[in-house]
Amino acid sequence: MTLPDLDWEPASGPVAVVLPGGQRVTLMVVPLEHVRRAWPARPDGLISRVLTPAELAVSGMHVVLARRVAHLAGRIAAKLALCAHLDAQGHGVSPQDVGLTQMLAGPEQGRPVAQLPPGVPACDVSITHSRELAMAVVTSHGRVGLDLERIEPRGAAFQDEVFTRDERVWLEARVRLWQRSPDELWNLGWCLKEALVKCTGQGLRAALQQVTFSGWREAEVEELRLAPLTGGADALVRSIHLDVPGRREQAVSGVLVAGQGYALAVLHDTREDWRRVGQGWRLAPGAAST
């Protein structure tokens, strides 16, 4: 696939990742500065090569420029990830061939939905942004969720609000085992729970105390070059199988990353028989559930 000329560094292109269990996802990072630079100069120029007029119009609902830039960057990341993911499967599409809408109601209100041409396999999409970066992840099997956060101090009140006691014990043990800072792990844990909410269909507004994990099993780590997060020598990258209470099978796998001041969690629900019904998702009859 040839990406539209947006004056972006090649290292920021789509990245294919094979997760533990063999599922393939595609990630895309878009620095907000690239959009900030392009948008005021020619709002109908470079960015319109990726986004449709309808998508550009939706971004206009954000009257604050910073929010509009973040929204645009997230949508651009998602569409470029979609095109790269489908191209790798032999379905060559351009960004103008695909559309992005979102759930309008229900517990997953705001979740992005990919609209694809006839004959192109359905894809699931998740988008996040924090500070100066926007990201998207795409898969054509199961569901995905990701969350990106700037690493900041997280005090006891935050920890009590977000994590169960067992989760706190687990994360504190990772601090010692990995020899990383506590703030890195608290932020990684937060990202993990936000991504879990998205990929398991529990709704974007679910209370994080109600969406729990009991640990994870680390898997073989493939080389992951995800500029700019993994560019530093001290970057942390871990592939994981997540242990989710109540699951009869180990269905959630993913990647945790900490680097360049950011924490990132990418999760994939490996059950392949999710179906979108109306404004929500459910498992097909006979599929294993929680």
pLDDT band at 45 (very low <50, low <70, confident <90, very high): low
Phi, psi of 251 (to 5 degrees): -100, -15
Residue corresponding to tokens 């796998």: 253
Lowest mean pLDDT among 52-56, 92-96, 166-170, 201-205: 201-205
* pLDDT at site 280: 42
Query: Which of 66-70, 172-176, 283-287 shows the highest mean pLDDT?
Result: 172-176
Lowest mean pLDDT among 21-30, 80-89, 249-258: 249-258
How confident is the model over 181-213, as pLDDT tens digits?
999 999 999 999 999 988 887 765 557 878 899
Q: In what order do the strands lie in the sheet with 124-130?
A: 15-18, 24-31, 133-139, 124-130
Residue 28's beta-bridge partner residues? 136
Task: Please name the helix (run of DSSP H) or strand (run of DSSP E) that holds residue 238, with its range, or none.
Answer: strand 236-243
Q: What is the DSSP string of 56-118?
A: HHHHTT--SHHHHHHHHHHHHHHHHHHHHHHHHTT----GGG-EEEE--SSTTTT-EEEE--T
How confident is the model over 52-84, as pLDDT tens digits?
989 988 888 888 989 999 999 999 999 999 999
* pLDDT at site 79: 95
pLDDT band at 179 (very low <50, low <70, confident <90, very high): very high
pLDDT band at 130 (very low <50, low <70, confident <90, very high): very high
Q: Give the three-state DSSP class for 255.
A: strand
Task: Please name the helix (run of DSSP H) or strand (run of DSSP E) that holds residue 283, with its range, or none.
Answer: strand 280-283
